[in-house]
Amino acid sequence: MKTDVLVIGAGAAGMAAALSAAKNGARVILTDRDERAGGILNQCIHNGFGLHYFKEELTGPEYAERFSTLLENYQITLLTDCHVHNVKPDRKAVLVSPKGVFEVETKSIVYTAGARERPFGTLMIPGDRPSGIFTAGVAQKYMNIENRIIGKRALILGSGDIGMIMARRLTLEGVEVVAVIERLPYSGGLLRNVIQCLEDYNIPLYLSSTVVEVRGKERLEEVVVAQVDNNYRPIPGTERIFKVDTLVLSVGLIPQVELLWGLVQLDPISKGVSCSNIGQSSSEWIFSAGNCTVVYDLVDYVTMEGEKAGKYAAHYAKGERFETGVPIEIGENVGVIFPRRYVSGEDLVLYIRSKKPIEGATLVVGNFERRFEDVMPSEMIRIKIPSQKIMGFERIVVSLKEE
């Protein structure tokens, strides 16, 4: 098969990229290894999506459906159940589906493979290895898609949004959630979720605490929790035992990038595909967007970045070429930023996570300054920097100055 633009992954980013590439006149193939388009949105049945993009609050499946019905109106070949196995430097990709293995020759790629969850094994928690330990996304898929109940009494490790949303979901389905455990001294997710997912259901949140041991022969029986010091080391003597049959882990997402190893540069901090502000990677024919570049809080932003990457991938396929741009660098108090290079022309849309909570911070980018009252690592800042404020810089440093 031959195409102009091959989009890998049909989540929010991929659907947006495919649509915008098609609107810009390209022939598009959109692939996903799942049975349907939508990605993670399909299992996120809670509300909280689309407020910026659609100006109304939708659930994940509703947001996905709005886009997947649009796909039919354009020259887009959607291949579901179709895993991209390999991408080669000669601009060919090997696809695997139940119908067989085949090759696609393309002019450009938009890589939108999303993120995966950090698994239990990476946490190095001592103890037994019984059943009953799930990552939040897997638990969510079992409950919301497959109608399976995962246990009777659960403890949740990690107070990011996904962990808190799962705490509410489990409670509503009749599973007793005894507590949410968080290593940091503050919640890792949005305040609204602390209120509507935990406080509404009287689920306690233990801060500065972690799981130090799991016990159980076949099924999980006990989880040992201890308080941690400033260096996140457990404090001896503070252990508490929770008798639960289920442990749900919500300990972070990692951009999925394996398919592009050796082909593109990765961002050493976000671990995602390093891109310029037009979504172009270090390999000029590969564009990327969404959670495989940096982990976003809001799907609306994923959609907007997907649209941009799709548009430029289509222009590239038609023969247009772009500058590599000047580097965007991390300054004071900044944890993660996206993008990492600026191609002059458009205003720069920046996504920033602070390294720590700051009350009263001034964001400085080139000649641009903006004050923020409260900055939290769990709440990604999105800001548009006018091009004239960053014109002529050889490198653009982004910092959050404390008052």
Partner 1 sequence: MDRIVCVQCPVGCKIKFEIVDGKIAKVEGNKCPRGLAYLEDELREPKRIVPTSVKIIGGNYPLVSVKTSAPIPKKYIPELMKKLRQIEINAPVKAGDIIVKNIFDTGVDIIATRTVSKNSQ
Ligand X SMILES: Cc1cc2nc3c(=O)[nH]c(=O)nc-3n(C[C@H](O)[C@H](O)[C@H](O)COP(=O)(O)OP(=O)(O)OC[C@H]3O[C@@H](n4cnc5c(N)ncnc54)[C@H](O)[C@@H]3O)c2cc1C
Residue 255 sits in the site that holds ligand X (CB under 6 A): no
Nearer to partner 1, 108 or 250 (CB): 250
Peptide bond just before 204 cis, omega within 30 deg: no
Residue 163 CA to residue 135 CA, distance in Å, equals 9
Select from 79, 139, 131, 74 the least CA-distant residue to 104.
Answer: 79
Residue 1 CA to residue 9 CA, distance in Å, equals 18
Which of partner 1, ligand X, none does residue 62 bind (CB under 5 to 8 Å by kind)?
partner 1
User: How distant is the alpha carbon of residue 205 from its chain centre?
Assistant: 24
Residue 157 sits in the site that holds ligand X (CB under 6 A): no
For 202, counting Cβ atoms within 10 Å of its Cβ (0-12 exposed, 13-18 middle, 19+ buried), the class is exposed
Residues 120-149, one symbol each (x = binds partner 1 by CB under 8 A, - = not), give ------------------------xxxx--
Burial 7-18 (b: 16+ CB within 10 A, else e): bbbbbbbbbbbb
Among 44, 71, 164, 390, which residue interacts with ligand X (rule: CB under 6 A)? 44
Contact 382, 316 (CB under 8 A): no
Which of partner 1, ligand X, none does residue 216 bind (CB under 5 to 8 Å by kind)?
none
Nearer to partner 1, 62 or 117 (CB): 62
Q: Quickly tell me which residue has 């404090």 as its tokens.
A: 235
141 to each of 126, 162, 163, 296, 324, how far by Cα in Å? Answer: 27, 12, 14, 20, 40
Q: How far is the CB of 205 from partner 1 (least distance, A)?
A: 15
In DSSP terms, which residues pair with 386 in a beta bridge? none
Among 3, 7, 11, 158, which residue interacts with ligand X (rule: CB under 6 A)? 11
Q: How far is the CB of 183 from partner 1 (least distance, A)?
A: 22
Q: How far is the CB of 143 from ligand X (least distance, A)?
A: 12
Residues 286-325, one symbol each (x = binds partner 1 by CB under 8 A, - = not), give -----------xx---------------------------
Select from 5, 7, 103, 88 the least CA-distant residue to 262.
Answer: 88
Which of ligand X, partner 1, none does residue 59 bind (CB under 5 to 8 Å by kind)?
partner 1
Residue 346 sits in the site that holds partner 1 (CB under 8 A): no
Find the binding residues for partner 1 in span 61-100 (CB under 8 A): 61-62, 65
Maximal CA-CA distance, the chain: 66
**In 10 A of CB 396, how many CB atoms?**
23
Residue 114 sits in the site that holds ligand X (CB under 6 A): yes
Q: How far is the CB of 49 from partner 1 (least distance, A)?
A: 8
For binding to partner 1 (CB under 8 A), which residues are involved? 42, 45-48, 51, 57-59, 61-62, 65, 144-147, 172-174, 190-192, 195-196, 200, 297-298, 374, 379
For binding to ligand X (CB under 6 A), which residues are involved? 8-14, 31-34, 39-41, 44, 46, 48-49, 83-84, 112-114, 140, 161-162, 165, 256, 259, 290-291, 296, 298-300, 302
